[in-house]
Amino acid sequence: MSDHESTYVPKTGIERWLDSRLPIVRFGADYMSLPTPRNLNYWWTFGAILMVCLITQIVTGVVLAMHYTPNVAMAFDSVERIMRDVPGGWLIRYVHANGASMFFIAVYIHMLRGLYYGSYKAPREIIWILGCLIFFLMIATAFLGYVLPWGQMSFWGAEVITNLIGAIPMVGEPILIWLRGGPAIDNATLNRFFSLHYLLPFVILGVVVLHLWALHTAGQNNPVGVLIPKERTAKDTLPFHPYYTVKDGVAIILFMMMFAFFVFFMPNALGHADNYIPANPLQTPAHIVPEWYMLPFYAILRAIPDKFGGVVAMFAAIGILFVLPWLDTSKVRSMRYRPTMKIFFVIFVLVGMGLGWCGAQLPDAPVVPGMASFVLLDGELNSYLWLTRLFTAYYFAFFLFIMPIVGLRETPLPVPASVSEPVLSGGATPAAAVAQAEKKG
Amino acid sequence: MAADQGDPNDKDPNRRDFIHIAAGAAAVGAGVMAAWPLVNQMNPAADTLALSTIEFDTSKVLEGMQVVIKWQGKPVFVRNRTAAELQRVRAEGAVGSPAEPDSARTKAGHEAILVVIGSCTHLGCVPTFNAGDFGGWFCPCHGSHYDASGRIRKGPAPLNLVVPDYEFTAGSTVRIG
């Protein structure tokens, strides 16, 4: 798709005048007419949904910053003022807060889509790496934002997360003091977190531009996972607009309905009640938990009995995604044709959810209440601690052992030669098959 | 073309190579020098550094009680321990990590008064007073147990609760910091 030639023809005099000076209309027109594989399913709509999420967060964020005061004496009250006094402020705040959760729901689906269909494999490694970078920046941004209301969860989340950096041997302590701007989490910390929470979304936006640029250079993947040769472009692709703009639009509307349901009917369901208590530096809540979208990584942190080891494992859990394209040895892109890997993938998804579930439980609590067990090393075997360790082991084994080994050993199913072949070989007459392909589009 | 005028095919170092390297080094040096103040501005400001010491009258703390005071943004526990607690921590000798006897964690003549920074050495939460398996503190975040001398006995925390620099100035008054 890198050789997609410009088909834009300026029609009016103004367009011709502009096109020879700044071809911005041509850029937009070429972008909208990009040849897109005609067999994309609804899992391919989450990129557009994520774009909507990013814009929603930036717009509501800029608006909230007009009323929020980044100072420990006023931060909590200024958020309550947004809720009570600013016209429609409650709506904007709830959209921004739930928007973060929606953003992560969409990004996890987006990432698992890429994993299943091999969208990280050559020639799409850079798209994947930029995506991992965006994911990491999203986590950082969401963390900084959660600190701003200066409630109990804000304060103690900031305390725990910054302390992770303090766990680094030798340089940890100076970096920790540098990050906090003092010996403890205080106004200096809140003030800089505000500045950085404003900045990072624009960095994300910049990386998103590179992500799309790489996508349009390497070409989109598709559920079959085969590259579309140039001579088949006309048969196997459709222009992005109006086919996929409209399809993405349908998905965006459905997603927005779920988003609106949360905002209007259960705006606090995904948050923690303790964040409605103003921050108290002298009292930690009895059970602090991170936001749901960080729970799997938090569980990995707690699974390791060593402080620095836990930090390393948690960052490694994200870091390993960056090298994923070189851990998968299979020549087949789509797991649709990888019967063995498909099973390990389903287990991986369940393990990821299991890690999230474990992250929300107390480590010492029994998994099966009342079941007798024994102490293994530092904890009861029948505890979330050991369940988390089991899941953590699978998480890393999936990338480090299962991917390279299964890729070499499994026998893949026959991969169709082109995007339209699986539809056309269905035994139907060609005319009916084309109609069917249109429907599946 | 003469070598000293920079033949691109000439592998020997020449004056043109020198000016490339020198210009590059100057740019890197200038970049680092410009970046340093932008990094350094995030270190503690003068007003934060000025909040160094506080004074506290420990006679306000009754036997068996703890008072939490704020010092440098962190909680400091001032605990007046009972005779039974003192007996227990002394009988246990040098324990915790690092292994310390209770006498190394208090001031001579004021053994009942324990002054420690109330931040769990794991990830910084405030441990709960008079809870846990060792009669000291229990951290609710990840389940660390401390004894009545603030020494770590169980859980993920790597170190004993930190004893800040402090001294008794007059009678029962301590100056922390």
Dump pLDDT digits (tens) for A189-222: 999 999 999 999 999 999 999 999 999 999 999 9
Given pLDDT bands bounded at 50, 70 and 90, which one contains residue B8? low
* CB-based contact, A364 to chain B, within 8 Å: yes
Does the interface ipTM go beyond 0.85?
Answer: no
B165 contact residues in A (CB cutoff 8 A): none
Q: At what angle do helices A125-147 and A307-322 cross, to 10 degrees?
A: 140
Given pLDDT bands bounded at 50, 70 and 90, which one contains residue A231? confident
What whole-number distance in Å separates Cα of residue B49 and Cα of residue B45? 6
* Confidence (pLDDT) at B10: 59
* CB-based contact, A196 to chain B, within 8 Å: no
Q: Average pLDDT, whole number, for chain A?
A: 91
B68 contact residues in A (CB cutoff 8 A): 282
* Confidence (pLDDT) at A340: 95
A3 CA to chain B: closest CA distance, Å?
34
Mean pLDDT, to the nearest integer, of B143-172? Answer: 90
DSSP code string of A215-263: HHHH----TT-----GGGHHHHEEEIIIIIHHHHHHHHHHHHHHHHHHH
> Residue A186: closest CA among chain B residues belongs to which residue?
B73
What whole-number distance in Å separates Cα of residue B41 and Cα of residue A267? 38
pLDDT of A397 > 70? The answer is yes
A187 CA to chain B: closest CA distance, Å?
10
Fold of the CATH domain A292-410: Helix Hairpins (1.10.287)
A287 contact residues in B (CB cutoff 8 A): 140
B158 contact residues in A (CB cutoff 8 A): 307
Question: Own/partner pairs for B106-113, CB < 8 Å, 24+ apart?
Answer: B107/B166, B107/B167, B107/B168, B109/B168, B110/B58, B110/B168, B110/B172, B111/B86, B112/B63, B112/B80, B112/B81, B112/B86, B113/B58, B113/B61, B113/B78, B113/B79, B113/B80, B113/B81, B113/B174
* CB-based contact, B70 to chain A, within 8 Å: yes
Question: Which of A182, A284, A305 has its CB closest to that of B48?
Answer: A182
pTM (predicted TM-score): 0.89
A362 contact residues in B (CB cutoff 8 A): 143
Token pair in block for residue A268? 């606090």
> Residue A302: closest CA among chain B residues belongs to which residue?
B142
* CB-based contact, B153 to chain A, within 8 Å: no
Contacts of A7 (CB under 8 A, 6+ apart): A29, A30, A33
Mean pLDDT, to the nearest integer, of B85-98? Answer: 90
Contacts of A254 (CB under 8 A, 6+ apart): none
Instruction: State whether A159 and B68 contact (CB < 8 Å).
Output: no
pLDDT of B21 > 60? The answer is yes
Mean pLDDT, to the nearest integer, of A33-47? Answer: 95
Domain chopping of chain A, boundaries: 1-33, 42-288, 292-410, 415-441
Active site residue B110: no
pLDDT of B55 > 60? The answer is yes
Fold of the CATH domain A42-288: Cytochrome Bc1 Complex; Chain C (1.20.810)
Dump pLDDT digits (tens) for B122-148: 888 899 999 888 999 998 877 889 999
Please, is B42 exposed, middle or buried when counting C-beta atoms within 10 Å of its C-beta (0-12, 13-18, 19+)? middle
pLDDT of A1 > 80? The answer is no
Dump pLDDT digits (tens) for A88-147: 999 999 999 999 999 999 999 999 999 999 999 999 999 999 999 999 999 999 999 999
A144-B48-B42 Cα angle (round to 5): 45
* CB-based contact, A389 to chain B, within 8 Å: no
Instruction: State whether A156 and B141 contact (CB < 8 Å).
Output: yes
A64 CA to chain B: closest CA distance, Å?
25
Instruction: State whether B70 and A281 contact (CB < 8 Å).
Output: yes
> Residue A164: closest CA among chain B residues belongs to which residue?
B123
